[in-house]
Amino acid sequence: MMETFDYNLKLIIPEVFLFLWALTVIVFDVGTKRRKSDSVGYLTMAGLAVTGILLYNFHGGISFNNMFSSDILALFFKVIFLGSAFMAVGSSFGLASDKIKNHRGEYYGLILFSTVGMMFLSSSNELISLYVGLELTTIPLFVLAAFYKDSKVSVEAGMKYLIVGAFSSAILLYGLSLLYGFTGTTDLTMMKINLSLLFLSAGKIGPGLILAIVMIVAGIGFKLALVPFHMWAPDVYQGAPTPITAFLSVGSKAAGVVAFARIFVHGLIAFSDPVMKPLDWGIIVAVMAAAAMVLGNITALRQHNIKRMLAYSSIAQIGYLMIGMVAVSELGIASIGFYMFVYLFANMGAFAVATLFNDETGSDSIRSYSGLSKSSPALSACMAIFLLSLAGIPPLGGFAAKYMVFAAGIEAGYNWLVILGLLTAVVSLYYYANVIKLMYFSPDNSHVKINIHPAARLVLVLGVVGIIIIGIYPEPVLKIAMESAVLFALP
What are the distances in angstroms from CA 184 to CA 267, 278, 400, 455? 13, 22, 42, 50
Nearest to 406 by CA among 386, 430, 425: 425
In whole angstroms, how large is the CA radius of gyration of the chain?
Answer: 22
Phi/psi for 466 (5° steps) reads -60, -45
Spatial neighbors of 110 by CB under 8 A, at least 6 apart, are 22, 140, 141, 143, 144
Residues in a beta bridge with 305: 365
Contact 409, 397 (CB under 8 A): no
Bond prior to 394 in cis (omega within 30° of 0): no
End-to-end Cα spacing for the chain: 37
- The domain ranges of the chain are 280-491
144-200 pLDDT, tens digit per residue, is 888 887 778 888 888 888 888 888 889 999 999 988 888 888 888 787 777 777 666
Average confidence (pLDDT) over 13-19: 91
Q: Which residues of 346-383 are buried (b: 16+ CB within 10 A; e: fewer)?
A: bbbbbbbbbbbbbbbbeebebebbbbbbbbbeebbebb
Cα angle value 306/312/317 (rounded, 5°): 115
Spatial neighbors of 457 by CB under 8 A, at least 6 apart, are none
Residues of the chain with pLDDT > 70, as a percent, come to 87
| pLDDT beyond 90 at 3 | no
Confidence band, pLDDT 50/70/90 cuts, at residue 446: low
| pLDDT beyond 50 at 51 | yes
The per-residue pLDDT for 36 is 59
d(CA 432, CA 396): 15
Average confidence (pLDDT) over 358-372: 85
Average confidence (pLDDT) over 38-44: 87
Contact 11, 69 (CB under 8 A): no
The mean of the pLDDT values for the chain is 84
Q: What is the DSSP string of 261-296?
A: IIIIIIITGGGGSGGGGGG-HHHHHHHHHHHHHHHH
Residues in a beta bridge with 68: 63, 124
- Enter the pTM of the model: 0.90
Question: How many CA atoms lie within 13 Å of 475's alpha carbon, on the beta-carbon side?
Answer: 1
Residues in a beta bridge with 62: 69
The per-residue pLDDT for 294 is 94
The per-residue pLDDT for 37 is 66
d(CA 212, CA 461): 45
| pLDDT beyond 70 at 275 | no
Confidence band, pLDDT 50/70/90 cuts, at residue 445: low
d(CA 70, CA 186): 18
The per-residue pLDDT for 49 is 93
Confidence band, pLDDT 50/70/90 cuts, at residue 466: very high
Average confidence (pLDDT) over 95-106: 70
